[in-house]
Each structure stands twice: as C-alpha cells, then as structure tokens.
Amino acid sequence: MKTRLYAGEEDLERILALQAAVRPPQQHSDYPGRVDFEEFLAQDGAANWIQLWEDDRGALQGYAWVDDYRNLHFEYRPQPDLGDEVVRWGLARAADLPVEDGDENLLDSNCRSSAAERIALLRRHGFADSPVRTVHFVHRLNTPLQTPQLPEGFLLRPLAGEREVEGVVALHRAAFGTEQMTVEDRLATMHTSEYSPELDWVVQAADGRLAAYCTGTLSPVGEELVGYTDPVAVHPDFQRLGLAKAMLCAGAAALQTRGAVCVRLGTTSENTGMRRAAEAAGFELDYEMLWFSHPFPAETGAV
C-alpha cells in the first residue's frame, strides 16, 4: 500500500468515486460531497490535509481529510488494518493543528448511528462519545408544499451578489455566536460548481437590515437530484418570527421546481429552534450522526 497527499482535481474525482463505491445507497448524499471538498480546497495549503492510500496498481483504496474545523473525515475499501492506518494518520496530522487559547483542542469525527464498525474503530483509537449529534431532516416533496408566510415589512429575495457578502458573514456570526465564518469562506461557497445565485436567499427587514439567510443547492445523487436548504441563519434580533420556516418553505418549492425529488437539511441536536422550524415546514427526521472526540496532540501508537 502506498500513501501520498492529495495532488489535484483528478484526485477529487477518484475520492468521489470511492465514496460512491463504498457507501450504502442511502448514504450517497452524506457529507462530505463535491461542494464540501471544493470549498475547502479553495484555501491555500488545503491539499496538505488530505491523504490518499493506493494499492500497487495505483487504485485508490482510502482517503482521510482533516478539515479546518478539526474534523476527521475518511472512507476506505474494507481490508485488514487500513481503517486503523487511516485513523492513525488523522491523529498524527492533528498534532500539527494550531493550539490557541480557549480552544478545546479536540479532533472530532462522526458517522451514522448504524455504522457499528466505524464506531468501534474510533473508540478503539481513543475517541470518546460526544453528547451532541447532528440530526438530518428530509422533505420528500410528495405532499403539498406550504406557502411561505413572512411578517409584514419583510422581503425574501436573492442575495445581491458579492457586494452583500460582508453583511451575510456578519449575520452568520451573530446568529451562531461564532467567528469561524469569514468573507473568504463565503466567497469560496459562491465559487463552487453547484452554486446557484438564484438559490442563495436572504430576508430583508423593513429597515433594510439582513434578518436571515438560507443557501439552497441542487446536487445529483445517482440519477436523481437532491436539494439542500442549509445553512439557515436568523439574526438574534429577528428570531421567533417564523423567518426560518418561511425560508425553508420557499426553498423547498424552488428546489422542487428545478427537479429535486427531496430536500435535506442538517442541524445539531441542541438547536431546538431549527428543529421546530424544519418540522413546521414539512421536514421529518431521517437519521442522526454521532460525534466522537479525541484530544490532540495525541499518542498514536499501534492498536
């Protein structure tokens, strides 16, 4: 088995083909997908955080990716010891992550609650169970869609291009209480292959401020098109007005018009407001992703 760093666009196609080959059909739309890689690879030095494993003929057998949110993502073809090697690489690579004051210094990884082998693999390497889960909802578009209802004075419209990016970034940071979203991050999203300006919505308040946003995308999954309506962010000054539900209803209708057979979104198990908005807009819980954490720097001896 040979191993090397990611080297270019051809490797991305090979990674996506590997995912399609090893994931069960119901997991083909799971994160990460093409757009997720494209956003990450727009950053300088990003290729240094993606490792590939190939057999003697050069066929891809596995990959591992440590992203800028300190998450380890990986897939591999089942074979003795390869999963252990992939996880050991991730733990060793995490040792090179910057350690800043206030950080938890944890490397995280996730998987579906049904993935018994992966859960055992992560626990075997010292990853501890996290109480937080990612919950994924689906709207199968086989029932009548609700008409979006906005409070008086609010306007749902597409984002006005790059000139409004700073405003959306400020909105995101206020909504989620984070500094992680940057102008560069948002521009990277807008430069991916599946970005569609008419599916990048904002809600404008009567005073002209950006009150909420929702980014819609449409992705091929097998022979079908699947829509996505996340992330959704509502500024704290405008929460509990039904803006999230209205954006989800409008997004589902727009994506259905463009051929989506269903619409998906994800949020954390702790985000009760988003969960309620999704259910009110006609989404239902589909599956959960469990999270596991490992401190770094870490000892990564043989297992």
Instruction: At 187, give phi and psi (nearest 5°).
Output: -65, -35
Mean pLDDT by 10 residues, the chain (303 residues): 96 97 91 94 94 97 94 96 97 84 82 95 97 95 90 97 96 92 94 95 97 95 91 96 97 96 95 95 96 78 46
The pairing of beta strand 262-268 with beta strand 128-139: antiparallel
pLDDT at 302: 43
Tell which residue, 115, 89, 81, 101, has the closest CA to residue 5: 89
Q: Distance between CA atoms of 203 and 210, rounded to whole angstroms?
A: 6
Whole-model pTM? 0.87
Q: Which two tokens stand for residue 177?
A: 């209480």
Tell which residue, 290, 292, 245, 236, has the closest CA to residue 268: 290
Q: Distance between CA atoms of 49 and 72, rounded to whole angstroms?
A: 10
Tell which residue, 249, 212, 205, 243, has the closest CA to residue 229: 249
Instruction: Indicate the Cα dihedral angle 87, 91, 96, 102, nearest 10°.
Output: 130
The pairing of beta strand 200-204 with beta strand 210-221: antiparallel
In the chain the domains, ranked by start, together with CATH numbers, are 2-132+291-295 (3.40.630.30), 144-281 (3.40.630.30)
pLDDT at 301: 46
Sign of the dihedral through C-alpha 149, 153, 157, 161: negative
